[in-house]
Structure 1
C-alpha cells in the first residue's frame, strides 16, 4: 500500500465526514478507493492511533492468535486487519504461509544482506593437493610446448630470409 501523509488522510477523512462519497474523494486525492475505505474504517475503529504505522515484531504465536481470532469470529482479512491494526495483505500472507508450512511458516525470516565474509573452505586432502599440482604442471607443459613451437617457427623464418 502506498504511504500517505497524515495530512492527506485527515483531509480525506474530513471530506468523508462532510458527506462526500468515498469514490469522489479517492479520485480527487488520488488515493485508491479501497485504501481510503481502509483508512476510514481504521480511523473509526482506532481513532488517531490508526494513523500511526506499526513496526511490530510479531511473534509466530501472536500471528497464530490473530489467524485463530479471524477464523473463530469468521472475519475477513480487512476486518481482522482493522481489529489488530495491520494490513489485510499482511494477514493474508500469514495465513498462506501457515497453510503451507504450519507454525514454522509464521516464524520470522532472516532479513538483510548476507555477511560479506565467505565461509572458510575446508582444507584440501593430500590427494586433492596432488591432483591440483598435476593439473598445474600439465597446463605449464602445454604452454612450454606451444612456446617452443613458436620459437622454432620464428627461427625457421629468420633462416629462410638470410
Structure 2
C-alpha cells in the first residue's frame, strides 16, 4: 500500500510508542519505522509498518514531511538503528582473528572484538561494515578518509 506522505498523522503514546492515524481516522498503535536503504540512502524510502508488519505508509523522502513528523521519525530511527561510525583504529591486539580493536567512533572510544575477516564487508562507494562479536555493526563511510595508521591496520584484515 503506497500512501502519499501526509495522508496520516504521527504521535507518541503515553508509553512512548509511535502511533499513526490514517486518512480514514483509524489509529494504529506501536508503529514501526523501517528504512529501505539505511546506509546508501538513509533519508529516502521510509516505510511505516503496523504492529503486525503491514505497510501503513511510504515516505519517498524525509524532506516531504513537516518538522514535527520528521523529528518523530528521526528519533524513532535513531533508537532503532544503532550503527556507530568508525573514525579511527588506534590499535589491534593481533593480526590473527579473533582480535580486539581499540577504536574511536562518532559515539566515543570503544573496544570491539573481530571474530574473523568475514565480519568485514565491503559496500558500494568505498564503505565498509564491520560486525563485532555482539553483532554491533560499525560503519566506515570512506576507507580512503581514514588516517594512514588506521588504513595500515585495516589493510591487514582486508
Larger Rg: 1
| Higher helix fraction (1 or 2) | 1
TM score, norm. by length of structure 2: 0.25
Q: Larger % of strand: which?
A: 2
Q: TM-score, normalised by structure 1?
A: 0.25
